[in-house]
Amino acid sequence: MRVPTAISVEKRLAASPVPVPLSGKDLGAFRRALLRWYDHHRRDLPWRKTHDPYRIWLSEIMLQQTRVAAVLDHYRIFLERFPNVEALAAASEDAVLAAWSGLGYYRRARMLHQCAKELVEQHGGRFPQSAEVLRTLPGVGRYTAAAIASITFDEPIAVVDGNVERVLERLTGCDLKQPQTWQHAQSLLSASRPGDFNQSMMELGATVCLPRDPKCPTCPVRKWCVTQQSKITMERRASSPGGPPPTPSRQIKKEIWCELSQRDGHIRLVQRPRKSSLMPGMWELPPLSQKPHRTPLSAPWRTFRHSVTITNYTVHVRQSAAPTAKGKWIPVANIPHLPITGLTRKILKAASII
């Protein structure tokens, strides 16, 4: 008798109709098992200790396409500078970008600032309590609106991010289309604890139901998982809610040179054009148009690796006592309040300047 392979089982599952969601006793048992696991094993994260919509909103925006470990310090510092939506709305864009510096995807910070202004001007500084109205705010999409509404206001509405999508596809053993994913998530939701349930689904995907090498033996809901029962390890999107990681063929490699000059407690920086398509208005080390010749005035080269979306940069930095590139002398003391690029922050930290 021919034994079916993992690939043949996976194809059969993907081709079969989407199973009917859990119901009755199974659904109740599934919810209890997942919430019990979450209560005992969830990570200790600062935004899980509050129901303040401002803090929940901030965490959700910061966590988009960014690892939790990278967000923690930025979240704390941002709240110290802008403790509430009124303070954020009253700040300048440069101040907001300075606090965001290092997180990348700076459009998020600009939309965050714009949203804060609208909340203050049109909603009296109060967050709408329904996902439907939250979605009308700048930079707030379906996922973010549902997360805020369920976690803060207990609205029984499900969320779907990359982690939840992966969990649902493995539970059903099917490659779900977007409407099916949201429908499944809503059908599983615990109406009595919607915020905790949504977070438990995301936590499960982030810590147990991993893209590669999932920890199936420790999964609290493995008995209801079609993929686990069929002994299939399915690889799904590996990083962010925005989609799968780019394949090597999509990666772009670039080599650039820039200049690091210091003088009397000042650093020479240049500001990117306000209309630039990438990081407009941000400050950075002056770029060099071509690889410079070594001179007695230039220190040895130092090389950094840096990635922005699908572009991998090799960045050569020349420390020069006699600057050759255009720029402006900026006091080192002012840099924490200046919107500098993540690459510039990396270089200045390596040089022990900040």
Largest CA distance in the chain: 81
Residue 90 pLDDT greater than 70, yes or no = yes
Between 181 and 233, whose confidence is greater? 181
- Express each pLDDT in 15-46 by its tens digit: 444 555 577 788 999 999 999 999 999 999 99
| Paired strand residues for 329 | 268
Domain 249-350 is in which class? alpha beta
**% of the chain with per-residue pLDDT over 90:** 49
- Express each pLDDT in 103-148 by its tens digit: 888 899 999 999 999 999 999 999 999 999 999 999 999 999 999 9
Cα gap 258→270, rounded to integer Å: 11
Cα gap 29→125, rounded to integer Å: 40
pLDDT at 239: 42
Question: Contact 77/99 with Cβ under 8 angstroms?
Answer: yes
Rounded average pLDDT over 280-299 = 73
Residue 279 pLDDT greater than 80, yes or no = no
Distances (CA, A) of 284 to 280, 287, 290, 344, 353: 11, 8, 17, 5, 14
Residues near 278 by beta carbon (within 8 Å), at least 6 away in sequence: 272, 308
Residue 60 among the catalytic residues: yes
Residue 332 pLDDT greater than 80, yes or no = yes
Rounded average pLDDT over 43-59 = 96
At residue 232 the predicted structure's pLDDT band, cuts being 50, 70 and 90, is very low
pLDDT at 292: 65
At residue 186 the predicted structure's pLDDT band, cuts being 50, 70 and 90, is very high
pLDDT at 11: 38
CATH homologous superfamily, domain 6-229: Hypothetical protein; domain 2 (1.10.340.30)
Q: Which two tokens stand for residue 325?
A: 């590139």
Question: Contact 149/130 with Cβ under 8 angstroms?
Answer: yes
Helices and strands in the chain, H and E counts:
14, 8
Which sequence spans correspond to the domains of the chain? 6-229, 249-350
pLDDT at 199: 97
Question: Contact 172/17 with Cβ under 8 angstroms?
Answer: no
Catalytic residue among 10, 60, 165, 284: 60
Average pLDDT, the chain: 84
Tell me which residue has tokens 């609106």. Answer: 145
